[in-house]
Structure 1
Amino acid sequence: MSNAFEKSINIGLGLLLYSREKVEELVEELVGKGEVAKKDARQFAGELMQRGEEQREELKKLIQSEVAKALVHVNVAKKEDLVTKDEIREIVREQMQQVLREQGCFKNEGPQ
């Protein structure tokens, strides 16, 4: 079984795209060729699916890391760095109130 498992590892990124059905087909093919014992087929399929999921997660982390690096490289603002319309309105409102207070036109200190 370990020899067949080593062969399956050589599938590489193709395994990432395999659905459970495709993995089961592959295992059945290996059983048919005598490379995997029928009693080990279910465990082998599970191992392949687990390995595929681990590779998916590794690839996902790698992609996220590379995208983050690319965004930093091109100087794209992060969501937390952006100011919303409501925040802009509040800033403008506060500044207008400050100017009006300084000119003596606005006496109310509380929020409007």
Structure 2
Amino acid sequence: MEDTLRKMVDLGVGLMSFSRDKITETAKQWAEERKLTPVQTRQLIQALLERGEQSRTDLQQMVQEQVKKSMERIGIRENHDALQAELVSIRELMIQLNARVEALEARLTETQEEGPTH
């Protein structure tokens, strides 16, 4: 899973670093070699830019989904309300546990003060 995520990020960085100017320049060179008309060249450039933008969008969505799955796998939820409710529940449990510990400590102190009952 980590390898897949790493590959997606590498691909995204590569696509993002391929700027609009570089795409246009490369498309024009390719169009000259193929003897495309100016209209065909513009269409090629537009198609490449749209494909690049779609690839960026797809990559962003895939990375977000992978991060969400990873977070869920380790127990982190995206739902803020659920997290808040869980924190409240944990706080209540801590209060109960603290009360039990205090009660047990008090009983232990009483027992120690009474001394051995042999």
Into which bin does the TM-score normalised by the smaller protein fall?
Answer: 0.5 to 0.7
Q: How many residues are paired up? A: 76
- Hey, which of these two has a bigger chunk of helix by percent? 2
Q: Deviations over 1:25-84 (max 9, x none)?
A: 111211232354333111111100111111111111111110010001111143332339
Structure 2 gap ranges (5+): 1-10, 93-118
**Quick check: which has more Rg, 1 or 2?**
2
Structure 2 residue 73 is the aligned partner of structure 1 residue 73: yes
Taking the aligned partners of 1:55 and 1:37, their CA distance within structure 2 comes to: 27
Taking the aligned partners of 1:83 and 1:39, their CA distance within structure 2 comes to: 57
Letter in 1 for 2:47: E
Structure 1 gap ranges (5+): 1-11, 93-112
Superposition map of 1:44-59 within 5 A: 44-59=44-59
- Calculate percent identity across the aligned residue pairs: 24
8 Å Cα contact 1:23-1:49 kept in structure 2: yes
Post-superposition offset of 1:17: 3.6
